[in-house]
Amino acid sequence: MRHNPLGAFLTGLFVLGALAVTVLTVTYVQATRNLLAMQWQAAIINKQRTLASALANDLVEYSRRNPMIDPILQSVGLKGRLTNAPALKSAK
């Protein structure tokens, strides 16, 4: 029986192609799992951000009825700093 170099070459090429497809498939599956995990985390973060924003808005609204909470809101940056200094008159 004669040895066929073309057959051996094509068989080797097929094996290399099958290995490459296997590696790419495993990489794709891992990347898809990571993507789904990140999307889940992003959804949780967006929900928490929405809740925090709603709470901040409610606190600012509450401070209109009860100004005793203003120092706390100012310390966390939800309300601008209030100054007790009188306004300067412009020079004529």
Is the pLDDT reported for residue 92 higher than 80?
Answer: no
Is the pLDDT reported for residue 1 higher than 80?
Answer: no
CB 79 within 8 A of CB 57: no
Task: Note the pTM of the prediction, 2 decimals.
Answer: 0.60
* Mean pLDDT for the stretch of residues 41-67: 95
81: pLDDT confidence band, cut at 50, 70 and 90? low
Rounded CA separation 81/74 (Å): 6
For tokens 């959804």, the residue is: 43
Per-residue model confidence (pLDDT) at position 86: 47
Closest CA to 74 of 85, 60, 84, 64: 60
For tokens 């808005």, the residue is: 57
Is the pLDDT reported for residue 87 higher than 50?
Answer: no
Rounded CA separation 35/65 (Å): 46
